[in-house]
Amino acid sequence: MTPTHLYIYWIKISNKKGEKMLRGNEIKPAEGKLGVMLVGLGAVSTTFVAGVQAIKKGISEPFGSVTQMSTIRLGKRTENRTPLIKDFVPLANLEDLEFMAWDIFEYDAYESALKAGVLEKELLDKIEPELRSLKPQKAVFNNNYVKKLHGTYVKTGINKMDLAQQLMDDIKRFQEINNCSRLVMAWAASTEVYLESDPVHNTLESFEQGLRDNHPAIAPSMIYAYAALQMGVPFLNGAPNLNLEIPALRKLAEEKKVPVAGKDFKTGQTLMKTIIAPGLKARMLGIHGWFSTNILGNRDGEVLDDPESFKTKEVSKLSVLETILEPEKYPQLYKNLYHKVRINYYPPRGDNKESWDNIDIFGWLGYPMQIKINFLCRDSILAAPVLLDLILFIDLAQRCNMSGVQEWLSFFWKSPMTAPGLYPENDLFIQQMKMKNTLRYMMKEDLITHLGLEYYNEM
Ligand SMILES: NC(=O)c1ccc[n+]([C@@H]2O[C@H](COP(=O)([O-])OP(=O)(O)OC[C@H]3O[C@@H](n4cnc5c(N)ncnc54)[C@H](O)[C@@H]3O)[C@@H](O)[C@H]2O)c1
């Protein structure tokens, strides 16, 4: 099999439990409104919603958004066919997005955005009515899973199944009132404490019994995902929480034929890692150590100040280098790599995170060199376009009848989900190629291998 055949085969098997994948003009059109349901109305969600409203009003351009700004090459380089992705595949228009949210605090999106401190008041004032109209619903929350927060705007119920039912009622109401033809749910709420998989997660039956028994291994994020999948709504997991990868939820996604994707938005320091590490590896430069530290002062930083929530994040951040560098294949270069990640809560910085990376590398004859990166980044400014792209792409996947884990969206995740037993691809550029080839496949265009011999053979 050629790489192209292998790739087509991968798409076919990754979709084997769903219906036939729809391609080209078979893809269901993006007609009507797309309801976007955000779990958590904090820094990322408000920066995303405010950005969409500002772009719709012509206040800004959609910088950072692949769906809105990136082009895709089709056919040979000599054909000069490079449409914008949004003109190539049938995506929902920004005008057709309707928002709803859940949060443990009652602040509307305007108040919450002011508190998050990412965007300036002057900008928020220009879109105040749109933001004011986004008022959250009461959340499903339990302080045992996010120790640093004490929310008051929280649902009560006889058990976790009852809470899931209440979420499904919220979903139905939102869809009816806003006349949405399709929905997507995204977890952009706080990182929950580290949870190991538990037998209760193993089957849908044991999970549903666990919901009725208030089993402690079922976290609020799983209750939201369960509610979404039961309603046939695609779910995105923006945090590193154990969630969609548990067998019960995977099974439910397959049974309901719903696409899902996760986890943990790829922004900031990890984005840099997935840009730089593949380059060092491509040139066969060794790495002795990679020390990463951050200061950040937003609520996310406060939540991550709790060691149990930090552990969830740490596992997600650490796994990236392993899968890019493949120390088992290159023991001389990466076997002894010492990788350390630290996050320090430092309130004066707010959302304007600062990260430092010290990378101790070595080259020819083992001579050592160092790389220092000081990234003064804005986490939510990087996360918001990622959230937009994921929402538009997973809605597209659903209209193509694609279901289960959408590995072609790895590009956007710190810890990409894969089929069971398959290692994740973390190299940003391989992820980008996979994403663009999937879009070409959807639209029945030739996949691009970058072989390019034809340019020379024909001369
Ligand atoms: N900002 C980034 O670049 C980035 C990158 C990767 C992942 N993330 C993850 O995205 C999530 C959101 O980040 P943020 O910066 O917006 O954080 P944030 O603290 O500003 O917002 C999270 C919101 O979720 C609410 N919340 C907590 N538990 C909830 C629940 N059970 N139901 C509903 N609402 C709940 C909180 O009250 C808060 O308003 C975090 O888990 C973070 O780790 C963020």
Ligand 1 centroid–CA 119 distance in Å is 16
Mean pLDDT on 97-123: 97
Check if 383 has its Cβ closer than 6 Å to any atom of ligand 1.
Answer: yes
Residues in Cβ contact with 72 at an 8 Å cutoff, skipping those fewer than 6 apart: 82, 83, 84, 85, 88, 436, 439, 440
The atom number, within ligand 1, closest to the CA of 380 reads 1
Check if 431 has its Cβ closer than 6 Å to any atom of ligand 1.
Answer: no
Q: What is the residue extent of each domain of the chain?
A: 3-265+380-442, 268-376
Q: What's residue 186's pLDDT?
A: 98
Q: What's residue 147's pLDDT?
A: 85
What confidence category does residue 177 fall into, taking pLDDT thresholds of 50, 70 and 90? very high
Check if 222 has its Cβ closer than 6 Å to any atom of ligand 1.
Answer: no
Mean pLDDT on 292-314: 81
388: exposed, middle or buried (C-beta count within 10 Å: 0-12, 13-18, 19+)?
buried
Q: What's residue 3's pLDDT?
A: 46
Asked if residue 263 has a cis previous peptide bond (ω within 30° of 0), the answer is yes
Q: What's residue 309's pLDDT?
A: 77
User: Directed axis angle between helix 247-256 and helix 204-212, to 10°?
Assistant: 110
Check if 412 has its Cβ closer than 6 Å to any atom of ligand 1.
Answer: no
The atom number, within ligand 1, closest to the CA of 44 reads 16
**Is pLDDT above 60 for 252?**
yes
Check if 44 has its Cβ closer than 6 Å to any atom of ligand 1.
Answer: yes
Mean pLDDT on 144-159: 92
Contact 322, 88 (CB under 8 A): no
CATH of domain 268-376: 3.30.360.10
Same-fold call for 3-265+380-442 versus 268-376: no
pLDDT digits (tens, 9 = 90+) for 22-73: 999 999 999 999 999 999 999 999 999 999 999 999 999 999 999 999 999 9
Question: Please, where are the H alpha helices in 298-426?
Answer: 299-304, 307-325, 331-334, 379-399
Mean pLDDT score across all residues of the chain:
92
Check if 107 has its Cβ closer than 6 Å to any atom of ligand 1.
Answer: no
Domain 3-265+380-442 has CATH 3.40.50.2300: no
Check if 357 has its Cβ closer than 6 Å to any atom of ligand 1.
Answer: no
Q: What's residue 459's pLDDT?
A: 52
Please tell me the residue having the least CA distance from ligand 1 atom 3: 379
